[in-house]
């Protein structure tokens, strides 16, 4: 069994540098936030290419690099059917959902619910979303900390912090959580987009390198090169790993998974924000198409290497005896075997990047909803004047802070319960579809009464929790939850349509929304602020900085398996990206 490298002081330095860059991006973005329109929508001035990269990166998390890698290690090509399926969802976004979200003419994501159903529906969804998002953020933070603490050797350590004894896992959650809160609170949506762009650079460099390097290593062992390495995968892996099998070939499972993907990549609230952050409807479509192609080819960069990991580490449990699912360490095992110090730090930073980006998006849309759709209307109902724009922005920041602290605290609680991945799958299959189905149905068909959205959620949750407590179909929990939610929501929605009355005063705003959705937004591309394109230059400067750091890492001690030339290659890729991004900024500016 090959011997792996471990994270050393130089790798830790790169991880800390990444934390510093993320916080600096938040401070840089704060200068662009003059009011809530900037904080929640980036003033509608985000370049479509950057918005697309940001949205694609926000679909990643430590779950993709850890749990999804474990699934690929155990199931082979079946993973390609699942993890490239967002391609089809984004094509639907290009064709239908991107223009619809632009035409909805909303300032904050959940304002759609007020227009389509009622203000009480928005209050209901917001209150329900708060605990769901806190649990989700806590879960992501915990999963991330499991990996990071093990990768840097903190999982068996104990530390004293301000008089409190913390395990290495808890300290990792605390530090990561603080960084997550700071740059989210300071930067708003501009901070999310720009930090996602930086994260996209890190993920892209790691993914581009790991594919040819892993194939070359496999080929070198038999006296060949990259092509020989690919051939070893097809020659040495069990046949069942080369042919799709298992859950992805089960029509019920695949159908349920596709439903989840369509909902998550078309009507999730963070995506609504992205579609409204670009200047025009045409830009929103271009953003969706970019995300489609990134979602098709991006996963292929790490699916094949992880399949190669099965050949390199056939008994991976021997390397990670403390992991409940050692296969989930397959991607990081490749990195620690084949990459030199410096790039190893980049891998940890990439996984940090993915999860922090996803958390930032959740912070942003939730704070927008609580501020715009709950706090401001409630103030008016109680006889107070409408708060100023600056007051609303500060309220959103305080909301982010409270939600972030609650998430970190709940992550500490989850860490006392043991494993988290199975809980993640079951929990979110119960709540995500239930909360998104009324959004999907209400956007497609607009002639149901004001109460139909709430009724759909209640029906879906009642159905799934009833099946849970009755332990129905225990071997098909994911399928049970998704299908049960969809059937219950759709049935209630269809039935409610018979109660719709066009002359009902409560339906007046829904009728206006229907007209708006049929009417393209009158947008003038010449209104785009050319200064917004300068953000490409900022990301280009970060690429240059990281390139210099990796160039310095070429002086570190290396091995024959992981030579310094890999750091040099990474530095060259970053320098080219930096040059290209700065050139875009100069040409447009």
Is residue 288 over pLDDT 90? yes
pLDDT of residue 82: 84
Between residues 43 and 451, the one the model is more confident about: 451
- Could you give phi then psi for residue 167, rounded to 5 degrees? -75, 165
Give the whole-angstrom CA distance, residue 342 versus residue 209. 13
| Of the ranges 139-148, 194-203, 404-413, the best mean pLDDT one | 404-413
Task: Please write the tens of the pLDDT for every residue from 189-203.
Answer: 666 677 777 777 877
Nearest 5 degrees, angle CA 525-CA 526-CA 529?
100
Q: d(Cα 28, Cα 501) in Å, to the nearest integer?
A: 50
Question: Distance (Å, rounded) from C-alpha 523 to C-alpha 261?
Answer: 30
Stretch 407-430: mean pLDDT, rounded?
64
β-bridge mates for residue 164, sequence order: 161
Q: What pLDDT is attached to residue 449?
A: 94
Fold classification of 9-103+112-419+529-588 is: Sodium/glucose cotransporter (1.20.1730)
How far lies 108's CA from each of 59, 113, 256, 275, 369, in Å? 20, 10, 29, 11, 6
d(CA 107, CA 70): 40
The pLDDT, as a whole number, for residue 17 is: 85
Share of the chain above pLDDT 70, in %: 85
Higher pLDDT, 514 or 128: 514
User: 565-588 and 343-368 are packed helices; what angle lies between their axes, rounded to 10 degrees?
Assistant: 40
User: What is the arithmetic mean of pLDDT over 552-572?
Assistant: 88
Residue range 336-350: mean pLDDT, rounded: 84
pTM of this prediction? 0.80
Mean pLDDT of 162-173: 77
Q: Distance (Å, rounded) from C-alpha 392 to C-alpha 411?
A: 28
Q: Over range 490-519, report the average pLDDT.
A: 92
**Collapsing DSSP states into helix, strand and coil, what is residue 411?**
helix
pLDDT at 589: 47
* Torsion 435-437-439-442 (CA) sign: negative
Q: Is the pLDDT of residue 37 over 60?
A: no
In this prediction, residue 354 carries a pLDDT of 65
* pLDDT band of 115, cuts 50, 70, 90: very high
Task: Provide the mean pLDDT of the chain.
Answer: 81
pLDDT over 80 (residue 95): yes
């Amino acid at each position: 069994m090959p011997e792996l490298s471990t994270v050393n002081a130089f790798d830790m330095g790169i991880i800390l540098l990444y934390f510093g860059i993320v916080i600096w991006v938040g401070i840089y973005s704060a200068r662009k936030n003059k009011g809530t329109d900037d904080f929640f929508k980036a003033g509608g001035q985000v370049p479509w290419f950057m918005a697309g990269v940001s949205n694609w990166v926000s679909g990643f998390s430590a779950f993709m690099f850890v749990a999804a890698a474990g699934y690929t290690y155990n199931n082979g090509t079946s993973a390609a059917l699942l993890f490239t399926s967002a391609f089809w969802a984004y094509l639907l976004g290009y064709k239908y959902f991107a223009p619809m979200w632009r035409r909805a003419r909303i300032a904050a994501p959940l304002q759609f619910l007020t227009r389509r159903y009622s203000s009480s529906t928005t209050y209901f969804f917001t209150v329900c979303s708060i605990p769901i998002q806190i649990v989700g953020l806590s879960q992501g933070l915990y999963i991330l900390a499991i990996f990071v603490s093990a990768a840097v050797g903190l999982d068996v350590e104990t530390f004293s912090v301000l008089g409190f004894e913390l395990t290495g896992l808890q300290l990792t959650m605390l530090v990561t959580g603080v960084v997550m809160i700071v740059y989210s609170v300071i930067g708003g949506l501009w901070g999310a987009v720009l930090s996602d762009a930086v994260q996209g650079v890190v993920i892209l460099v790691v993914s581009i390198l790991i594919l040819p390097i892993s194939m070359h290593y496999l080929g070198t062992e038999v006296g060949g090169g990259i092509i020989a390495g690919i051939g070893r995968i097809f020659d040495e892996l069990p046949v069942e790993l080369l042919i799709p099998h298992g859950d992805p070939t089960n029509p019920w499972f695949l159908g349920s998974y596709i439903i989840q993907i369509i909902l998550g990549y078309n009507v999730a609230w963070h995506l609504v924000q992205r579609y409204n952050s670009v200047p025009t409807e045409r830009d929103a479509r271009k953003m969706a198409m970019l995300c489609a192609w990134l979602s098709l080819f991006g996963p292929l960069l790490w699916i094949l290497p992880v399949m190669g990991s099965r050949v390199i580490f056939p008994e991976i449990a021997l390397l990670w005896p403390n992991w409940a699912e050692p296969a989930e360490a397959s991607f990081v095992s490749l990195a620690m075997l084949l990459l030199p110090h410096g790039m190893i730090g980049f891998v940890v930073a990439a996984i940090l990047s993915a999860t922090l980006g996803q958390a930032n998006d959740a912070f942003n849309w939730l704070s927008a909803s609580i501020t715009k759709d709950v706090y401001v209307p409630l103030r008016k109902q109680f006889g107070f004047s409408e708060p100023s724009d600056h007051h609303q922005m500060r309220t959103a920041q305080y909301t982010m802070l409270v939600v972030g602290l609650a998430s970190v605290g709940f992550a500490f609680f989850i860490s006392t319960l043991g494993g988290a991945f199975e809980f993640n799958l079951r929990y979110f299959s119960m709540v995500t579809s239930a909360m998104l189905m009324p959004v999907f149905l209400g956007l497609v068909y607009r002639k149901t009464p004001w109460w139909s959205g709430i009724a759909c959620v209640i029906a879906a949750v009642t159905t799934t929790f009833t099946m849970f407590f009755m332990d129905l179909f225990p071997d098909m929990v994911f399928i049970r939850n998704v299908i049960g939610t969809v059937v219950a929501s759709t049935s209630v929605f269809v039935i409610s349509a018979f109660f719709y009355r066009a002359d009902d005063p409560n339906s007046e705003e829904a009728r206006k929304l229907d007209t708006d959705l049929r009417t393209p937004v009158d947008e003038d591309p010449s209104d785009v602020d050319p200064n917004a394109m300068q953000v490409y230059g900022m990301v280009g400067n970060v690429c240059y900085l990281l390139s210099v750091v990796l160039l310095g890492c070429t002086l570190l001690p290396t091995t024959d398996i992981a030579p310094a030339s890999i750091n040099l290659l990474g530095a060259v890729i970053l320098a080219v990206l930096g040059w290209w991004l700065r050139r875009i900024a100069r040409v447009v500016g």
